[in-house]
Amino acid sequence: MRHSIAFSALAVAAGSLAADCNGHAELCDRRYSNITFAGAHNSPFVGIGPSDNQFTSPTDQLNQGIRFLQAQARDQDGSPEMCHTSCILEDAGSLESYLSPIKTWLDGNPNEVLTLLITNEDAIDITKFGDAFTSTGLDSYVFTPEKQLALDEWPTLADLISSGNRVIVFMDYNMDTSKVPYILDEFAYWFETPFSPTKDNFIQCNIDRPAGASADGRMFLANHNLNVEILPDVLVPDPVDAADTNSIASITSQTDICVQNYGRNPNVVLLDFVSEGDTIAVQDQLNGF
């Protein structure tokens, strides 16, 4: 038995060393909390309409190199539905229909670590989310920490890949880890810069949520998704300038301020229309490649 355990450990270690992690061997030994991810804002909302934030599907976003997907869930008859602000405005289908292709993609890409950030403003019963993860089989990949982790306690990408628990799930509000322990409280671990920015407040790195939070001990997400105010207090994504918004020059003009403020790059740069601009090139640059 002792020899069997030792052999298994060696096999796992050899497997993790043999391949890249999220496309780079250099990332294998880095802690999850010490990596910058380009993120797809409102990843399910695909098209050219005023409520769409992406031109490509979540699967195509993953194939491009995106490893952080954010999505809105809204209450549809008591179940989570992937709707933008309301299901009347845009309905991209059930949570299961969103998660199932992600599970399929993960099955075919065993050396990738993925983060999901799901919003739950409508306070949908958290067990409904757990049911969707279970029915799609995605729960087989989720990471469940034994306690709340400090920045220097997160596992490396190689650790996550070797364990098989390589999907990290966060929720902004109304989660309950006593019922679904792998859907983690976003704001226990993160802070965000202001969301829905327009040109008037675009290039900055102030703490917006949670209110009054300290940057110490938290990962952070920089919202770099430009919006246009078409009517008073009515904002829509800006696809016309997406290539410029997602350029290295534009993104680093914000991340440089973050470094000045907090001494480090953001862990996520959240973007609309990730297929445009320098999305993956800037992700690599911010990670030192």
**Is residue 46 within 8 Å of residue 52, measured between CB atoms?**
yes
Angstrom distance (rounded) from CA 8 to CA 256? 44
CA 146 to chain centroid: 21
Angstrom distance (rounded) from CA 271 to CA 265? 15
CA 78 to chain centroid: 25
Angstrom distance (rounded) from CA 264 to CA 246? 20
Peptide bond into 237 cis (omega under 30): no
Angstrom distance (rounded) from CA 38 to CA 68? 7
For tokens 């991810």, name the residue: 37
Sign of the CA dihedral running 104, 42, 45, 171: positive
CA angle 38, 250, 44 (to 5 degrees): 35
The residues that are catalytic are 41, 84
Bridge partner residues of 74 (DSSP): 81
DSSP 191: E
